[in-house]
Amino acid sequence: MTFHSPLFWIYLPLVAIVYYRLRAQRRDKRWLVILFASLFLLLAEPLGGLCVIAMGGFTFWVANRIFKEESHFYRKLWLSAGIGSCLSLLVLVRLGFGDAAYGSSFYIFQMVGYLIDVYQGMIPPEQNLFVYLTSVSSFFYISAGPILRAAEFIPQLRRPQFLTLIVAREAIFRICWGLAKKNIGDMLGLTVNEYFDSDLTRGPLRAWTAVLALSAQYYADFSGYSDIAIGLGQFFGLRLPENFRTPFLAKSVADHWRRWHISLSEWFRVYVFTPLCLARLTVPFWFDINLTSRVQIGLSVVVTMILAGLWHGFTWNNLIWGGYNAALIVAGAVLGTWAWVRSTRTKFLKIFVTFYLMMLGRVLTRTPSWKAFWAVFNDMHWAQGMSFYSSARISQLTLAILGITVPHLVDHFLLSQSPFFLHQRLLTLAIVLLILFNVIFVIPGQPFLYERF
């Protein structure tokens, strides 16, 4: 049972009524949240849901062992055991051994981050198992993020904010807008699938239409899920961080990853990139190297992005995608030292070039092989297909462009706290229109793309 399931939207109001009924009676609401979160996972994928609960209980126990252990050696041993168990489960899932819950990597990443934070002394371990399980398996964000750190989320579980009419209206708008983006992504997905599932030799107009639609589909689907998660969190008195900040307006590849799935990018920065940058490299028998230099930073970028690529799946295209992004980030850092690149006069050029480069990267993740990627690239730049220029193709291209610009424009006003979103009557009208849009244009049975991760 996921966000695109009608059963979920029947079940949700019942949970909300009971949730606030318990609040009115001053009872502990955490039991209800963990109960619903567990049922959500178990109904979505029974075996995967049990894995979430089992691994959550294991990491809860390991974190307390780390905290109580005085020996540095045994603390590191317990940390290695906890992280190794989590990553082993993730690798097995990626290799296709057994079933997994929706968004398996996201709850594993949260558990790994929690263990590292406890090991480094940034937070004390949570003593209530049910609170901890709620923090790593909450239905608000479990399938696709945002990834939350325990220090940010657990205190909110203990003291959720009270739901006011204004907050409820904003939450409903955010949920409806997220569903609308999901439906926009599904409609664009029809164009994407029509092209990528064909022989990939259909001319430049169709290629550019499909590739632009792919970028719009990814953004609408991924950010739409985050919008729904943030809205649901608001509805239950919990504040989740923004996960997308108009990434198509990024001026560099590094800037793009500071705007796209922010919590995932932040996780890789905190738990992979930064430790690699600060690591002291030892070469046995020869000499000790402390590479606090641009070379070590560059190598750290390469390793981090390759791991991020493999996170998408153990395929050659994903490995190449990681190396491709790493090369672009390093090249951007080098070019960023040039005065003309830093100039504000080149702002729109940098946005255009970044969007183009990231668009090619998305093609890498969508095509099944390197050969298929080059077929698409050839269609975009060199193939001749003037006979395929028609009003229908022009309409598809127009819809793809609108699919990129309109959601970005609305999100820009949403993030900038535009007066429109503070005007309650206009917000209510927008909610009604979004509900009508979602009812009319819904495509049943289409899962969120990030759920497979």
What is d(CA 315, CA 369) in angstroms, rounded to the nearest whole number? 8
Q: Is residue 67 part of a domain?
A: yes
Q: Is residue 331 part of a domain?
A: no
394 vs 35, residue with greater confidence: 394
Range name among 129-143, 261-275, 294-308, 324-338 with the lowest pLDDT average:
129-143
Q: Across residues 397-419, what is the average pLDDT?
A: 85
Q: Is residue 1 part of a domain?
A: no
280 and 246 assigned to the same domain:
no
Q: Is residue 410 part of a domain?
A: yes
160-195 b/e (C-beta count within 10 Å ≥ 16 → b): beebeeeeebbbbbbbbbbbbbbbbbbbbbebbeeb
Residue 95 pLDDT: 74
Residue 130 pLDDT level (bands cut at 50, 70, 90): confident
Q: Please give the residue range of the domain that contains residue 310.
A: 254-324
Is the pLDDT at 287 greater than 60? The verdict is no
190 and 94 assigned to the same domain:
no
200 and 309 assigned to the same domain:
no
Residue 302 pLDDT: 94
pLDDT tens for each residue of 250-284: 999 999 999 998 999 999 999 999 998 887 655 44
Q: Is residue 83 part of a domain?
A: yes
Q: Across residues 335-358, what is the average pLDDT?
A: 84
420 and 275 assigned to the same domain:
no
49 and 110 assigned to the same domain:
yes
366 and 245 assigned to the same domain:
yes
Domain boundary among 324, 349, 374: 324
Residue-by-residue DSSP string for 117-182: HHHTTSSPPPS-HHHHHHHHH-TTTTTT-----HHHHHHHHHSPPPPPHHHHHHHHHHHHHHHHHH
Q: Is residue 330 part of a domain?
A: no
134 and 11 assigned to the same domain:
yes
What is d(CA 373, CA 341) in angstroms, rounded to the nearest whole number? 30
Is the pLDDT at 61 greater than 90? The verdict is yes
Q: Is residue 248 part of a domain?
A: yes
| Tally of domains in the chain | 3
Range name among 199-203, 329-333, 354-358 with the lowest pLDDT average:
199-203
Domain boundary among 158, 181, 200: 158
105 and 53 assigned to the same domain:
yes
Is the pLDDT at 288 greater than 50? The verdict is no
113 and 194 assigned to the same domain:
no
